[in-house]
Structure formats: structure tokens, C-alpha cells
């Protein structure tokens, strides 16, 4: 029995939700390029959960149900107000608040298929409100209630800022939500499936997944990208900064990806949005700096940008606080986690791998009085 570090190359389950084959990402067989350019986030969520794109009637109903379930219980808002917002990282706050939602759901431990689908809908609706409420409360503002006639992306920006967003801003958030919705058996998705494979409840599964996404090697990468761009400051500093990283053998966030050999197919869509948005806010240095860094690292190390690299400048251009980048990732990836949780429940087997033991063998027990 031989281990594989990081489970790299290990096929742990079968799934019909998303695939990465020959550097092409698909959701239920649909290419990510087609979905990113044509679909609303709600269409993609419906696709992931139901294995088919909705017709107009199905989509209208689904969008209405999401909007109707978006408002948070007052107890959750009171809980968010109780945080010491000077020390709490948003991902820790979101993780705890999402877990707390389960205490206010009288169906939390009902395991029938229809009950789980309804819980999935409520969780997907409310996670957007959790993130935006956290952001506003720490600014000393009241949470904003969603509008039932707004789509998911538009409602996110409306609840975050308290004003109607521009069309290009809605387009950018919708595209980001679509691109981040699922990504095969990534670390947080695997965590969710391991958790619910014990037949734990759906709230436990998504809370465990949020904990995994919080790490800088997973969901936290785009926040670190923006920290890097801010440290660089001006475009003429970019190459010397990267050379110093190379010299010190430091990891550069947002570059390369374990499962793509020739580049992340999602990155180009956010690269285009970064270019457009940086022009809108008249701060194109963030886009230009990103392009210069990507081109240089590709030339020097053969590593192209991944989706996190350009999402950083997109979110910055939208005025989103840098430490909210990963919570926004959570809002999107929640759809994929829930799809995988539902799939796991429908064909469950406890996930219990083995470990290759490398510790000492055949040691002899020594009585206390004889130990040195």
C-alpha cells in the first residue's frame, strides 16, 4: 500500500457534475466558455443541481425561489453584530454564520431527497446575504434586504452597497459566480463529500467546505494576489518584485494550477472583465500590472495565470474589500458544494481511505520506572 502526497492523481469517486479533461472545464458536459458568455448564475446552479439547463418557466420559478429565500433571520443578523469585527476574518464569520443557519431550519436533520433540495436552495440564497450583511455591519451600516425582482448577481451588489449596480458590474459578478461555481473534486468539495458521507446534515457539509476554502492555497489565493499587486504599487516595480520572489523561491499566488497543463480556461474571461472594469474606474494599472506579471512568469517559468489571478483585480475594481474576495468565492462555490452533497447522498458510501504508515515499528513497551 503506497501513498500519494496530496492524493495527486488519485480518482476518489465518480461524478456527473463537472469535469476537467484535456484542460477543458465543463459543467454537466457544457463548456465553461459557453456558460461564462451566455448563462446567468441561476441557470448554472440549476444545471449543477438538476443535470440539465432550465427552460424559461423553470428558470423563472428558480430565480423567484432564490430571491424569496435570501433574507436572513433576525437572529443571524444579531449574531453578526456580536462579532468583534476588528479581529474576525470574514471567512471565519461566514463559516460560523452559515453553520448557525442550521439551528433556524426545522428541516436541518430531515434527510429525504426533497427536503435536502429545499435546504440547498435556502442555503444558496442566504449565503449571499450573510456575506453582504457581514460587510455592511462592520462598516457600521445596516444590512440591506434583497429585492425579489433582482437576479442573484444584481442582488449581491445591491445588498453589498445599498444602491443599484451598473450593468457592467452585474455582468462581472455574474461571470465570476459562473466561473467559480464548481471545479471537480477540489479540496473544499472533497471535504464536503467526506463530511456528508457519514450521513451528517447538509449544514455540516457546507460548513466543513467553507473551512477548507478559507486556506490561502485554495480560496484565499485571490486575496493574496491583490496583496501582491498592492505591494508592487506601480507597473515599473513588477518585474523586480517578481525576480525577488524567484530569488527567494517564494510561491506566487494565482499562477499555475495542479490540474491544468496548458492554462486555466476560466482565466481569460476574468482577464477581459479586469480590462473593462479598470477602464471604468480609470485605474488600468492593476490590469496592466497583472498582464505584465503573467507574461513574465509564463516566459520565465512556463506558468500561465489561473482564475484567481484576474479575479483579484476584477473584485478590486468593483470596490470590494480585499478580505471579502474569498467570501465571494464561497457564495459561488456553494452551488458546487451543494450539487456534490446531493450527489453523495443519492449514492452514498462512507469515504474512509487508508494511510501508509511510516513511523517506528515493533517498539517494546517500557515501564514508567525504566524510562529515561
- Please identify which of the residues 201, 308, 316, 340 carries the catalytic annotation: 308
pLDDT category, 300, cuts 50, 70, 90? very high
**Cβ contacts of 44 within 8 Å, gap of 6 or more:** 27, 35, 177, 178, 181, 335
What's the confidence (pLDDT) of residue 117? 97
Q: CATH 1.10.230.10: which residues of the chain?
A: 221-317
What's the confidence (pLDDT) of residue 263? 75
pLDDT category, 6, cuts 50, 70, 90? confident
What's the confidence (pLDDT) of residue 86? 77
Distance CA 265, CA 166 (A): 26
Instruction: Kindly write down the DSSP assignment for every residue of 284-297, as one continuous string.
Output: THHHHHHHHHHHHH
Is the confidence at residue 349, as pLDDT, over 90? yes
Which pLDDT tens digit goes with each residue over 131-178? 999 999 999 999 999 999 999 999 999 999 999 999 999 999 999 999
Q: Are the CB atoms for 58 and 47 separated by under 8 Å?
A: no
Is the confidence at residue 331, as pLDDT, over 80? yes
Q: What is the mean pLDDT of the chain?
A: 93
Is the confidence at residue 238, as pLDDT, over 90? yes
Is the confidence at residue 1, as pLDDT, over 90? no
Is the confidence at residue 220, as pLDDT, over 90? no
Is the confidence at residue 259, as pLDDT, over 90? no
- Residue 9, Ramachandran bin (φ over 0: left; ψ between -120 and 50: alpha; else beta): left
Known active-site residue 308: yes
State the fold for domain 221-317: Cytochrome p450-Terp; domain 2 (1.10.230)
More confident call, 275 vs 255: 275
In order of 56, 130, 177, 322, the CA distances from 327 in angstroms are: 30, 9, 12, 10
Q: CATH 1.10.580.10: which residues of the chain?
A: 14-215+323-346
What's the confidence (pLDDT) of residue 306? 86
Instruction: Kindly write down the DSSP assignment for every residue of 140-207, as one continuous string.
Output: T-PPPPPPTTS-HHHHHHHHHHSSPPPHHHHHHHHHHHHHHS--SS-HHHHHHHHHHTTT--HHHHHH
More confident call, 9 vs 279: 279
What's the confidence (pLDDT) of residue 135? 96
Environment class of 115 (CB within 10 Å of its CB; exposed 0-12, middle 13-18, buried 19+): middle
Is the confidence at residue 258, as pLDDT, over 80? no
Mean pLDDT computed over 354-372: 93
- Please identify which of the residues 257, 269, 316, 340 carries the catalytic annotation: 257
Distance CA 244, CA 241 (A): 5
Distance CA 70, CA 99 (A): 16
pLDDT category, 46, cuts 50, 70, 90? very high
Mean pLDDT computed over 239-250: 94
Domain covering 14-215+323-346 assigned CATH 3.30.420.40 in the classification: no
List, in sequence order, every residue forming a beta bridge with 27; answer none if it has no partner.
Answer: 18, 30
Cell of 355: 494511510
Q: Produce one character per residue of 94-105: b if its CB has 16 or more CB atoms within 10 Å, e if not.
A: bbbbbbbbbeeb
Distance CA 35, CA 175 (A): 9
What's the confidence (pLDDT) of residue 4? 77
Mean pLDDT computed over 81-99: 92
Amino acid at each position: 500500500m503506497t501513498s500519494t502526497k496530496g492524493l495527486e492523481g488519485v480518482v476518489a469517486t465518480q461524478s456527473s457534475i463537472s469535469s476537467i479533461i484535456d484542460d477543458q472545464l465543463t459543467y454537466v458536459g457544457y463548456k465553461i466558455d459557453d456558460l461564462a458568455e451566455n448563462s446567468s448564475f441561476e441557470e448554472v446552479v440549476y444545471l449543477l443541481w438538476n443535470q440539465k439547463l432550465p427552460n424559461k418557466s423553470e428558470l423563472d420559478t428558480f430565480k423567484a425561489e432564490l430571491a424569496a429565500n435570501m433574507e436572513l433571520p433576525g437572529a443571524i443578523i444579531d449574531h453578526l453584530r456580536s462579532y468583534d469585527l476588528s479581529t474576525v476574518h470574514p471567512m471565519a464569520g461566514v463559516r460560523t454564520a452559515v453553520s448557525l443557519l442550521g439551528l433556524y431550519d426545522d428541516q436541518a436533520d430531515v434527510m429525504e431527497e426533497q427536503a435536502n433540495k429545499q435546504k440547498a436552495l435556502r442555503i444558496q440564497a442566504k449565503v449571499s446575504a450573510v456575506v453582504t450583511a457581514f460587510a455592511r455591519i462592520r462598516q457600521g451600516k445596516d444590512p440591506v434586504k434583497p429585492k425579489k425582482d433582482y437576479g442573484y448577481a444584481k442582488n449581491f451588489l445591491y445588498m453589498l452597497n445599498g444602491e443599484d449596480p451598473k450593468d457592467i458590474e452585474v455582468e462581472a459578478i455574474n461571470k465570476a459566480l459562473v466561473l467559480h461555481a464548481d471545479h471537480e473534486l477540489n479540496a473544499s468539495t472533497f471535504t464536503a463529500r467526506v463530511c456528508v458521507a457519514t450521513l451528517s446534515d447538509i449544514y455540516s457539509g457546507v460548513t466543513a467546505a467553507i473551512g477548507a476554502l478559507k486556506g490561502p492555497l485554495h480560496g484565499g489565493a485571490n486575496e493574496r494576489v491583490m496583496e501582491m499587486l498592492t505591494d508592487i504599487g506601480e507597473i515599473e516595480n513588477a518585474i523586480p518584485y517578481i525576480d525577488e520572489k524567484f530569488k527567494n523561491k517564494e510561491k506566487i499566488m494565482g499562477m499555475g494550477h495542479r490540474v491544468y497543463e496548458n492554462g486555466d480556461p476560466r482565466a481569460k474571461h476574468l482577464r477581459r472583465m479586469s480590462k473593462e472594469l479598470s477602464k471604468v474606474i480609470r485605474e488600468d494599472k492593476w490590469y496592466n500590472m497583472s498582464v505584465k506579471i503573467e507574461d513574465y512568469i509564463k516566459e520565465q517559468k512556463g506558468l500561465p495565470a489561473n482564475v484567481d489571478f484576474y479575479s483579484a483585480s476584477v473584485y478590486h475594481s468593483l470596490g470590494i474589500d480585499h478580505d471579502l474576495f474569498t467570501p465571494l468565492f464561497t457564495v459561488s462555490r456553494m452551488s458546487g458544494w451543494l450539487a456534490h452533497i446531493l450527489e453523495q447522498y443519492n449514492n452514498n458510501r462512507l469515504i474512509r481511505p487508508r494511510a501508509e504508515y511510516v513511523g517506528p515499528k515493533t517498539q517494546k513497551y517500557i515501564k514508567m520506572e525504566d524510562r529515561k
